[in-house]
Structure 1
Amino acid sequence: MPNPVDTIYTVSRLNRQARMVLESEIGQVWVRAEISNFVAASSGHWYFSLKDDRAQVRTAMFRNANRNVSLRPKEGDRVLVRATLSLYEPRGDYQLIAEHMEPEGEGLLKQQFEQLKQRLAAEGLFAQQHKQPLPHPILKVGIITSATGAALHDILTVLKRRNPAIDVIIYPSQVQGESAALQLIQALHVANQRNEVDVLIVGRGGGSLEDLWCFNDERLARAIFASGIPIISAVGHEVDISIADFVADLRAPTPSAAAEMVSEDRLELQKRLLNTQRRLHRAMASQLQQLQGRQQLAVEQLQRTHPKARLAQQSQYLDRLYSDLHHLMSGQFNRSLQQINHLQARLQQHSPQHKLQQMRQQLAYQSQGLHRQMHKLLQDKQQGLANSSHLLNTVSPLATLSRGYSISLKQGEVVKRAADLQSGDKLTTRFVDGEINSKVE
């Protein structure tokens, strides 16, 4: 049997052993809670309570740890805290020693992001050998984004400026909210089934981590990986990183940058065409010079031999070569001119005038519909008023009087029973066309 003296603790020994048990058995934990009783000491340390609707725990966050917190917490803030379970020995208070703190929602999302990123990377979805190269030339571009977002406007503006000859097909989808991921996946499936574009741009403008969260959806990541069409991810601004960026074939820092990646600058195209034309002219001039040299050589040979018939044949052959050369030069020049005219016509087709006219017609149609709806609503309200008036008239006391009935009043109150009357009571009897006063005998 143990000696009772060996089991007797001093308070300090008991608290010290309790602290050691808490730190060794439980150790580091993540706690999601609300800030309460926050105090920033002059030493730079923070002292506060973490609470939920049922309990609270004292917490300390020392200066070397809280200097890494981006936002100073305040009363009522919801936070995610990484801390070590401990005990403050002098008072015997159970407490947490906080090492890291971040806003609750953002912290959970970052954890989920990192976990999914590591898992997909381990499966090889980010591996470079699975990336598809962009085709060349790119003649048709598909865009998966919000039909009313700024990202679509930026992409179309860049494409129109750099190369208006590129065809654009828009696959509209929500890019924020609970249903956004499923809509993005559906748009990817539609684009792959139609197989009508050379490359797809998937993205949206900038926003918070919560705003961009649909691009961190695992189902969307697998749909991007399975796409047979090369995909450029253009999500947010340059500092925004999503799972879609890692799994896509190419990442663009912004939607505008994605548009520049898939479009060849019109000015560069024209410059290349002019260079080709110059090379063609030089080649033709060189060939013409060679032919002229051959002609001169033939003339000299003929002059030495005087074969008039052969000279005539050579002259005819030279004329034919010159005609073919002239035809070739004219054809090449006309084709180049036609291509330039075609590009100019395509540029005219993208003028906003036609779209503006359509929007004006749509506005006029909607205005007419609104007038019709307002007129119908007014008629319905008038009919309802008439029905209510009729119903009110049927229960009106005046209608009852008009059918031959009368109402007797005693001191302004309606007499309902004869037992309510006594001899000498004065009555007022009301008819449809007037009233009379009487006295009970």
Structure 2
Amino acid sequence: MSQRIISDRCTAMKGSITEILTVSELNEKIRDLLEARFDLLWVEGEVSNLRRPSSGHIYFTLKDEKSQIRAVIFRFLPGSRPFRNNRLPFFDLEEGMQITCRARLAVYAPRGEYQLILDSLEPRGTGALQKAYEQLKARLQAEGLFDASRKKPIPYLPRRIGVITSPTGAVIRDILNITARRFPSVSLVIAPVRVQGPEAPREIVQAIQDLHSLEEVDVLILARGGGSLEDLSAFNDESVARAIASSSLPVISAVGHETDFTIADFAADVRAPTPSTAAELAVPNRNDLTAWLAGTRSRLYTLLIRSMTQRREQLVRCRERLKDPQRVITGLRLALDDHRERGRLIIQQRLSAEKQNILLQRLRLQQAGPLRRIRDTRLNVEDMEKRLISSCRLNLDRARKSWTVSATRVDSLSPLAVLERGYSIARTLPGGRIIRDVAMLKIGDSLELRVRKGRLEAEVTRIIPE
């Protein structure tokens, strides 16, 4: 018995040795097994250990009361910050938030860890929905999407009204009944959309764009009945809010009951508490308009009669004040004759004064005429010519006398004049320097002597100093 047990143990040990796995191989087998078993799954839990590194990925732990698991959202996948799914507006993932996510299970073999890789998520519970609603409202308000300056006025009497709502239900019937009762001639264009569910935001945005392409649509009504915050989530979608804000047509938002407020209400130009009120805001009451027109017509008629009476009375008073035309014409004729005579006298006086002025100007012109000026100028020129000739002669005589005196002085100082008196000038040969001292010569030097007429060369044979 003991031998058989020992033999079985040995056999088992031999079999297990042949199946030894490395850590990497074991982790890879676990990865293949888990990823094949759990492809896509929905998981709910609480967010904790939330981290947002600079890479743009988001890491956190999804936990409940008993366990936890790592989770990651890659920035290039749907669901990256800010998050958006088909049924909820954008929201920020926060610590402690309850979420439901769709993910696949992945194993990171190098560390033997497994984690969830998310591709979509949504908050859980009314508190989370309210949190997402508040976050989106605050962000769009900070962008100025709800500013009063962006609001467009609602036309008083639109030609055609575009209605965006569900084709079934009480909302569309209420709008049709009220518009038909208040103003039957106003036409409606209904854009049927889903007002709840993941496809609702896209259909609402498309309906707004489609109604803009139609002619004579002057105002849009976006309507839906009441419901919970989750039921109204399509009207808390950011794409719907931006489509309303960018609409060139005024938009009336009538979503939910009077106490319900959605993001669409804040983005719209006018918020109606109910769809019925929206219809009343879009079109006036024909009976009220008819009564107003009748009253206006009556007031205009009264004003016209009063104005005609006043004009008739004024005409009577003017006729009474009007004089006999023949008397007026006679007075005007006398005044005309008087003005004509005074005008004739004034013209004669002015003509006489102008004649006197012309004669005076003619005399002045003769006195200041060019011929007289030329004659005076010629006389001045002749006189200046005589004085210039006399001055030139006088200056020439003075210059001639001064030149003679200067020449006499120069001649008296000239060396030639000294030679005339019997003196000579001695110069060295060669060089031609004038000899002023016997120290400049020595025995045997040649020199040149210049006398009054001619030159002669001599040789120094004796030097006699003084």
TM-score, scaled to structure 1: 0.44
TM-score, scaled to structure 2: 0.42
Larger Rg: 2
